[in-house]
Structure 1
Amino acid sequence: MQRIDFHIDALESMKKYPKELFCIGNTDLLDNKKVSIVGSRKPNQYVREMTHLLAGKLAKQGVVVVSGGAIGVDAIAHKAAGAKNTIMVAATGLDKRYPAINRNLICDIEKEGLIMSQFPSKTPSNRYNFVLRNEVVVALGDVLVVTYADIDSGTMRSVEYAMKMGKKIYVLPHRISESQGTNLLLEEGKAEAIYNLEAL
């Protein structure tokens, strides 16, 4: 683990630039085009498949996929992009590989990709840390892709960050009864639907 001692321009869009930043891995990835992908911890099969296809396609085009390392959409996006094409932003100190179920994935990203955190060693998974983590995830990406979000969810708070930062937001199209958060964004004209992965 090392302290990041250089400035990351993308994080200037945050409400407040992080006091400290730590990392393990390849910081050159920060210079690449980046897309942040977020969504539910319990995605359905459609969301799992589309998230995997989308992240894999972006990585093949040389785009780095940024996410938060959580179970569900985050982990799918990291895996599909491949460890060397992904940045994970942790909500704990980097001495902890959290969540434990993603330990192997996190180890792979440490070796080939980049893991970042604004929290020093020994920082546990406190609830509010996830909110702070999400702001970094959104800030790093040139755009935000939301593959599934209920209206009252942490993912929708990530959307709020994106709107404040002036980031373009893309979502997957869903049935009326599903992913009501992203459907509302489409209804209000705050997001653009991804209808064709080939057009990306």
Structure 2
Amino acid sequence: MDLRELVYVWHLAMHTKAWRHENELWAEIERRQLKLSDSVKTVADWGPLVAIQPFVHDVAWFQQARESYRAVPVLTRFDASYPPRLAESNQPPLVLFYRGRPSLLPRLTLAVVGARTATRYTRQALERLANELPPLAIVSGLAAGADTFALEMALSHGWPTIAVIANGMDRVYPASNLELQARIAEEGLLLSEYPAEVWPAPYRFVARNRIIAGLAHGVLVTEAARKSGSLITANYALQNNREVFALPNRMGEALGTGTNELLQVGAKLVQSGADIMEELQFFP
């Protein structure tokens, strides 16, 4: 076992724990200034490794973990293809499972998030923006509503399309997005920090949001209520010094309350694609 595989095994054992516990190993690797070529013995004296001993001593579990390591495409913090933006963000995942094209990750990227009950307003606004913007990489979750509209828009225009899901690659949620998930895995990039057989849960959607914000250069919120997961993504974006954009909405619209409040506290108002590119043009 080398250090990369140790990171993978640690992730499988610890992904259900708090992020702080999962990333203790990487923090220790950085503290010791270790490289992939260094022996795993260089951390053998690190006390917290006892946390995975029950897993490693479970012969069936450990064998399955090692087999999946060889068979399943993953990006780890050791890999040159792990996105630098994500690595520098708040709470980056130790391991990302993927299907599709990781070569899309360095592209200029706009995250699009919004309500699961997003209306035709979101779809129409995205189509208008698609006609006014250069071909940006679009990253979103794979939820119903705004996420789906954004990913479908990107695919229909031939733009790089990245979906971050809150479950294992062998699960689809919502079930209505079965074909969309398969198409993104084939034509774009599907990402998850969760191994196979993991179903979504409320806290996993929140955790997924930090990855979306970490991957993006800017985050566009289309429609959102006052208490919305989309606002969590916007908050992560602010923590990561990302640009935050919002579509204005009419007074009294429940799904406009969150976006209008974002505008009140300093998000960039979007009326055209130029409003987005005015901020993103400075990125390489």
Q: Scaled by the length of structure 2, what TM-score is found?
A: 0.66
Are residue 139 (structure 1) and residue 210 (structure 2) matched? Answer: no
CA distance in 2, matches of 1:84, 1:111: 14
Offset of residue 44 of structure 1: 1.9
Are residue 67 (structure 1) and residue 140 (structure 2) matched? Answer: yes
Offset of residue 154 of structure 1: 0.8
- Equivalent in the alignment of 1:78: 151
What does 1:91-102 align with in structure 2 at a 5 Å threshold? 91-102=166-177
- Equivalent in the alignment of 1:185: 262
- Equivalent in the alignment of 1:34: 109
More relative contact order in 1 or in 2 (CA 8 Å, sep 6+)? 1
SS in structure 2 of the partner of residue 176 of structure 1? coil
Cα RMSD, aligned residues only: 1.7
Are residue 115 (structure 1) and residue 186 (structure 2) matched? Answer: no
Deviates more, 1:172-181 or 1:66-75: 172-181
Offset of residue 8 of structure 1: 1.8
CA distance in 2, matches of 1:183, 1:109: 31
- Equivalent in the alignment of 2:48: none
Retained in 2: the 8 A contact 1:51–1:73?
Answer: no
How many aligned positions are there? 197
Retained in 1: the 8 A contact 2:224–2:258?
Answer: yes
Deviates more, 1:49-58 or 1:98-107: 49-58
SS in structure 1 of the partner of residue 244 of structure 2? strand
Partner residue of 1:52 out of 110, 116, 127: 127
The superposition leaves residues 111-167 of structure 1 with CA deviations (integer Å, 9 ceiling, x where unpaired) of: 110000000111111111100101101111100100011111111111111111111
Are residue 3 (structure 1) and residue 74 (structure 2) matched? Answer: yes
1:185 alignment partner AA = L
CA distance in 1, matches of 2:131, 2:139: 12
Higher helix share: 2
- Equivalent in the alignment of 1:163: 238
Give the fraction of aligned pairs with identical amino acids, expressed as a percent.
32
Segments of structure 1 that go 5 or more residues without pairing to the other structure are none
CA distance in 2, matches of 1:57, 1:69: 24
Are residue 19 (structure 1) and residue 86 (structure 2) matched? Answer: no
The superposition leaves residues 43-75 of structure 1 with CA deviations (integer Å, 9 ceiling, x where unpaired) of: 1222221123335654xx231000001100001
Q: Structure 1 residues 121 and 31 mapped into 2: Cα distance closer, same or farther (>3 Å)?
A: same
Segments of structure 2 that go 5 or more residues without pairing to the other structure are 1-71, 278-284
Are residue 151 (structure 1) and residue 226 (structure 2) matched? Answer: yes
